Amino acid sequence: ETQIASILKSSELYPIPQSVKLSYGTAGFRADASLLESTVYRVGILSSLRSLNLKSSIVGLMITASHNKVSDNGVKVSDPSGGMLSQEWEPFADQIANASSPRELVSLIKDFVEKEEIAIEKGGGEVWLGRDTRPSGERLLRAAEIGVRSVLGSVAVDVGVLTTPQLHWMVRAKNKGLKATESDYFENLVTSFKCLIDLIPVNKVEISTLLLDGANGVGGMKMEVLRGFLSNLDVEIRNTGRDGGVLNEGVGADFVQKEKVVPLGFGVKDVGMRCASFDGDADRLVYFYIPSESCGDKVELLDGDKILSLFALYIKEQLNIIGDEGKQCRLGVVQTAYANGASTDYVKEMWLEVVFAKTGVKHLHEKAEEFDVGIYFEANGHGTILFSESFLSWLVGKQKDYSEGSDKHNAVSRLVAVSNLINQAVGDALSGLLLVEVILQHMGWSVQKWNELYKDLPSRQVKVEVPDRTAVVTTSEETEALKPLGIQDAINAEIKKYQHGRAFIRPSGTEDVVRVYAEASTQEDADSLANSVAQLVK
Ligand code: 16G
Ligand code: ZN
């Protein structure tokens, strides 16, 4: 058959490198960029099949390694909904990525097409390809195109250099029949941001400048474009990648959150200023400021948990204004085991429902969808707010019922605008930043005031290199280890020695390590608990 011949022929161009074992992992394939061409080519094929399997809906393919070093790259797939690739397809992704010969590849594809009853002969798949600013991106994108097109009758559309959430947003919008270009994305942010600004009761504060660390990546670049369309936001962008800085090197949200030190380009001159950091593909956002008692290197971090708390507070306030009917709304929060215990206490005190999910966006997203309004965040700054279709249409109905300009009308309009502003597909640093900024203006708060919502318990993360990380198996929420046998009892015994002690271990989904997290009432205790648990893992 010609289809088989087509794949056989193109796969000759992309032989698999010796001795690599790839896994789709938490967030797609990631490796040194020099090893990835064959993988990206194969993910191109998978994306065409996924599109065909879903009646030719558009699928997204993103080339990025997020916060990892510039010489790495990666590839992940966006489903037509804008969410992550269905987990049911991950084993197939692993299989084809590791197929050692063109023949094996073709036979795996053939079996899968039969099993899933994909009408491959009909053609008509469509895949949108995006990439971040990594130098290897263009070459890998060509490989993806060839993969997509080797499924006869499928088209590949190069949508250019984008943030990961932009691509997810565009794919989602297109499949909903909405306007879906990058300018539509910007226009949507600008309109809903302006709407929220106009709904601020009184302008309580003068707007101070926000300092943004763009991680020398795509996010800073896009923010420069966006800034041009916005009033009521004064942002100075540093680490744009144009000033000689290297992507993610000593900069970016992952660096700031893990190391708790200032990124390059920031220092003592910025003491007290409101600062924010994006990661390399702009799906993570954290805020920070440099406290006056520091010598300019330590930061006071406002992580994903603090952002979540701010969002929850604002939304809860709008629901309260709507009154009894607003209280019917199921507003819930999804966190991971990494969430600072103080943040969990804080949202519980607001009487919100809190559930825990396994690390990785797809797990949090799934649980947030169960609420009318589900807010999810990982401590590392990835998160968003999901509005259910039924709650949204209820809101839109209420917008007609309440008289214009009334408090209730304003509250409903704010919620509708939030649902437009905040990316419904995945966590998005650009839209998250705009929402934080508008809420701070609404409340009349400085970054310091926001930080006082609660005080983080001191915490420590360490990683332990082990011969086989799969030896560690945890419960579904990752708070307890089931294997190796007996280790949880030993961890519990350590925890007991500390006030407000909490600790857990989990195998990383992206690196060959076991991660240890510990929390306690003092930093010294958190450090010591983390270290003693790490000893148990070794
Ligand atoms: C990936 C995940 C992130 C998670 C991290 C954990 C997505 C888009 N990204 O970067 O959410 O926090 O992995 O890494 O899902 P780890 O398993 O190595 O700790
Ligand atoms: Zn990222």
- Least confident span in 9-23, 279-293, 316-330, 354-368: 9-23
pLDDT exceeds cutoff 70 at 399: yes
Q: Does residue 279 belong to any structural domain of this protein?
A: no
Q: How far is the CA of 517 from the centre of ligand 1 (A)?
A: 15
- Cβ contacts of residue 488 below 8 Å, gap of 6+? 480, 481, 482
**Mutation to probe ligand 1, out of 359, 365, 367, 461 (largest number of atoms < 8 A from CB):** 359
Residue 467 lies in a domain: yes
Average pLDDT, the chain: 95
> Among 161, 182, 216, which residue terminates a domain?
161
Residue 198 burial (CB count, 10 A): 11
Does residue 189 have a pLDDT over 80?
Answer: yes
Which residue CA neighbors atom 5 of ligand 1 most closely? 360
**How far, in Å, from the CA of 281 to the mean position of ligand 2?**
5
Alpha-carbon distance of 387 to 371, in angstroms, equals: 8
Q: For residue 275, which of 221, 236, 314 has the smallest C-alpha distance?
A: 236
Q: Which atom of ligand 1 is nearest to the CA of 336?
A: 12
| Ligand nearest to C-alpha 217 | 2
Helices (H) and strands (E) in the chain, counts: 19, 19
Distance of alpha carbon 299 from alpha carbon 272, whole angstroms: 10
User: Ligand 1 in contact with 164 (CB < 6 A)?
Assistant: no
Mean pLDDT of 495-509: 95
Domain assignment of residue 307, yes or no: no
Q: How far is the CA of 511 from the centre of ligand 1 (A)?
A: 10
Q: Is 6 touching ligand 1 by the criterion CB < 6 Å?
A: no
**161, 195, 223 — which closes off a domain?**
161
The arithmetic mean of pLDDT across residues 41-54, rounded, is 97
Q: Is residue 316 part of a domain?
A: no
The CA distance from 218 to 209, in Å, is: 21
Q: Are strands 72-78 and 155-161 parallel, antiparallel or unpaired?
A: unpaired
Catalytic residue list = 66
**Nearest bound ligand to the CA of residue 463:** 1
Ligand 1 binding pocket includes 104 (Cβ within 6 Å): no
Q: What is the rounded CA–CA span in Å between residue 427 and residue 432? A: 8
Assigned domain for 146 exists: yes
* Burial of 467: CB neighbours in 10 Å, binned 0-12, 13-18, 19+: exposed
- Least confident span in 15-24, 201-210, 261-270: 201-210
Q: How far is residue 61's CA from residue 77's CA, in Å, rounded to a whole number? A: 5
Which amino acid, one-letter code, is at 39? T
Which residues, 6 or more positions from 365, have their beta carbon under 8 angstroms from its beta carbon? 83, 84, 376, 386, 426
Token code pair at residue 488: 């949880």
The per-residue pLDDT for range 308-327, each reduced to its tens digit, is 999 999 999 999 999 998 88
Mind listing the pLDDT tens digit for each residue in 131-146?
Answer: 999 999 999 999 999 9
Among residues 370, 302, 283, 286, the alpha carbon closest in space to that of 334 is found at 370
DSSP-H helix ranges across 205-340: 218-227, 253-259, 304-322, 324-327
Q: Quickly list DSSP for 402-446.
A: SPTTSHHHHHHHHHHHHHHHS-SSS--HHHHHHHHHHHHHHHT--
Using a 6 Å cutoff on CB, does residue 380 contact ligand 1? Answer: yes
Residue 205 pLDDT exceeds 70: no
- For residue 240, count other CB atoms closer than 10 A to its CB: 19
pLDDT value at position 293? 79
Examine the fold and report which residue of 97, 127, 161 is the final residue of a domain before the chain moves on. Answer: 161
State the average pLDDT over residues 321-337. Answer: 94
Give the ligand whose atoms come closest to the C-alpha of residue 30. Answer: 1
Residue 202: the pLDDT is 79
Does the residue 40 lie in any domain? Answer: yes
Output the pLDDT for position 327: 85
> Ligand 1 centroid to 12 CA: how many Å?
33
Residue 378 CB–ligand 1 contact under 6 Å: yes
CA distance 27 to 24: 7
Q: Which of 68, 85, 361 to mutate to test the pocket of ligand 1 (most atoms within 8 A of CB)?
A: 361
CATH of the domain at 105: 3.40.120.10
| 351-383 per-residue burial string, b: 16 or more CB within 10 A, e: under 16 | ebebbbbbbbbbbbbbbbeebbbbbbbbbbbbb
- Cα–Cα distance for residue pair 45/149, rounded to 1 Å: 8
Q: Which residue out of 23, 24, 26, 466 has the highest number of ligand 1 atoms within 8 Å of its CB and is therefore the one to mutate?
A: 26
Instruction: Average the pLDDT over 148-171 and give the result.
Output: 97
What is the pLDDT confidence band of residue 50, given thresholds at 50, 70 and 90?
Answer: very high
So what's the pLDDT on residue 203? 63
Q: How many residues does the chain have?
A: 538
Confidence grade of residue 204 (pLDDT, cut at 50, 70, 90): low
Q: How many Cα atoms sit within 13 Å of 123 on the Cβ side? A: 9
Helix, strand, coil % over all residues of the chain, rounded to 5: 45, 20, 35
What's the pLDDT score for residue 1? Answer: 62
CA of 322 to the centre of ligand 1 (A): 37
Ligand 1 near 494 CB (within 6 A): no
511 within ligand 1 shell (Cβ under 6 A): yes
Q: How far is the CA of 25 from the centre of ligand 1 (A)?
A: 9
What local confidence, expressed as pLDDT, does residue 122 receive? 87
pLDDT at 512: 84
Whether 257 shows a pLDDT value over 70: the answer reads yes
**CATH label of the domain that carries residue 470:** 3.30.310.50
Closest CA to 432 of 205, 103, 116, 193: 193
Of 491, 473, 490, 493, nearest to 481 by C-alpha is 473
- 114 Cβ neighbours under 8 A, 6+ residues apart: none
In angstroms, rounded to a whole number, what is the distance separating the alpha carbons of residues 101 and 120? Answer: 22
376 within 8 A of 386, measured Cβ to Cβ: yes
As a whole number of angstroms, the distance between CA 127 and CA 51 comes to 7
Average pLDDT for 44-65: 97
Q: What is the CA radius of gyration of the chain?
A: 23
User: What's the 378 CA to ligand 1 centre distance in angstroms?
Assistant: 9
CA–CA dist 232, 361 (Å, integer): 31
pLDDT at 267 over 70: yes
Positive or negative, the CA dihedral 414, 376, 274, 458 is positive
Pairing of strands 210-213, 274-278: parallel
Residue range(s) defining the domain that contains residue 523: 459-537
Helix, strand, or coil (residue 77): strand
- pLDDT at position 5 over 80: yes
CB 159 within 8 A of CB 141: no
Per-residue model confidence (pLDDT) at position 27: 82
21 part of a folded domain: yes
The closest ligand to the CA of 383 turns out to be 1
26: which DSSP letter?
Answer: B
Domain count, the chain: 2
> Cα 440–209–377 angle (5° rounding)?
45
* CA neighbours closer than 13 Å in the CB half-sphere of residue 152: 13
β partners of residue 129: 61, 158
If you take atom 4 of ligand 1, which residue's CA is the nearest one? 360
Residue 361 lies in a domain: no
Q: What is the mean pLDDT of residues 414-433?
A: 98
Q: Is the ipTM of this complex over 0.90?
A: yes
Q: Is 515 in the pocket of ligand 1 (CB under 6 A)?
A: yes
